[in-house]
Amino acid sequence: MSSEFGEKIKVSIFGESHGEAIGCVIDGLPSGVRLDMDKIYADMSRRAPGKDKFATPRLEKDIPHILSGTLDDVTTGAPLAMIIENTNTRSGDYGNLLTVPRPSHSDYPAYVKYNGFNDIRGGGHFSGRLTAPIVFAGAVAKQILEEKGIVIGAHIFQVGNAFDKAFDKNNVSSDLLKKLTSNNFSVIDDNAEEKMREEIESARMAQDSVGGIIECAVIGVPVGVGGNMFSTVESKLSSILFGVPAVKGVEFGEGFGFASMRGSQANDPYCVKDGKVAVKTNNNGGVLGGITTGAPIIFRVAIKPTPSISQPQQSVNLQTMEEETLVVKGRHDPCIVPRAVPVIEATAALGILDLMT
């Protein structure tokens, strides 16, 4: 039962939503990497709430504070520990007695698993806030990967019934990825943003929430990364992606679309390009037999609608064992998909770095 990811670059995440601090330890980093703190802050800011009316208004000052593992912003090779202090916790607001679990949150199974001892204030260790240290760790990983010519970027492919253009699977440019990662609302087709914002606003007005899909691309990974059987690129990435709260599906390349395809359509023929072997199409999303082909790694992640909605919902009072109507108070983020984009990029970076170390 672990909040840790990775075999060579191990990331251990800790903290609770309303505890004293959240943070992470990154063990196994190479020494001598100069961290560009501005880039780290930029990614963390993309994830941070409170940027506009669509997001949760509670102001978090997610300032990462590095405790060890660097000297003058250069990694020493020792474990890098980072904390973010929780400054706005108002612990008086919550008791720690779970009486009526919120539907589709972790409340009830966590209550059973931890015999009621888990910290439920703000979701405790299950809070989406814990993705902040993931983004931090991923931003560090991204910088190490960038030195190897690897660039990662993601965009919102779908929110409710609004869609962005998909990546051209065999032709993703570094410029496009940089555009996406410099944006708080990352879309390829600028027209998609308005439609998506309408979906979100419509959900918000209905005291509801809405889900979506994020599509991510990793370019520059050489041929031959990953492995057979249980060390496939897909195994590695999915295992960390499904650690991100609200992720309920992961597919590579055509993914579920393969089900209605014929082999003759699905197969990616080889050609010679710039004197090298290349795929003519990239339906497999850059991975064959679990190993990278040199083509862009493309995957999609399904994000369920955030379960926190203001509408009355049916639940059960765990003390009385009576069914009860629950109204979750407070203002809620009607769609976490935009803020989840840098989290998905971060997990991709951590997974790829672990595979390449």
Report how far residue 355's alpha carbon sits from residue 357's, in angstroms, rounded to the nearest whole number. 6
The answer to whether 133 and 7 have CB atoms below 8 angstroms apart is no
* 268 is a site residue for its own copies (CB under 8 A): yes
Per DSSP, the three-state class of 292 is strand
Q: Which of 340, 327, 347 is nearest to 102 (CA)?
A: 327
In the chain, the N- to C-terminal Cα span, in Å, equals: 24
Q: How many CA atoms lie within 13 A of 287 on its CB side?
A: 27
Min separation Cβ 137 and its own copies, Å: 12
Report how far residue 331's alpha carbon sits from residue 274's, in angstroms, rounded to the nearest whole number. 54
Nearer to its own copies, 117 or 191 (CB): 117
* 307 is a site residue for its own copies (CB under 8 A): yes
Bridge partners of 278, per DSSP, are 271
Min separation Cβ 269 and its own copies, Å: 4
The contact pattern for its own copies, residues 23-62, with x = CB under 8 A and - = no contact, is x-x-xx--xx------------------------------
Which residues in the 75-134 window bind its own copies by CB under 8 A? Answer: 75-81, 83, 96, 101, 103-110, 112-115, 117-119, 124-126, 130
Min separation Cβ 178 and its own copies, Å: 26
Which residues in the 183-212 window bind its own copies by CB under 8 A? Answer: 203, 206, 208-212
* 288 is a site residue for its own copies (CB under 8 A): yes
Neighbours of 218 (CB within 10 A): 27
Report how far residue 124's alpha carbon sits from residue 86's, in angstroms, rounded to the nearest whole number. 12
Quick one: which of 54, 151, 155, 158 contacts its own copies (CB under 8 A)?
158
Give the range of 55-63, 182-190, 296-304, 338-346 binding its own copies by CB under 8 A. 296-304
Count of residues in contact with its own copies, rule CB under 8 A? 147
Min separation Cβ 142 and its own copies, Å: 19
The answer to whether 142 and 35 have CB atoms below 8 angstroms apart is no
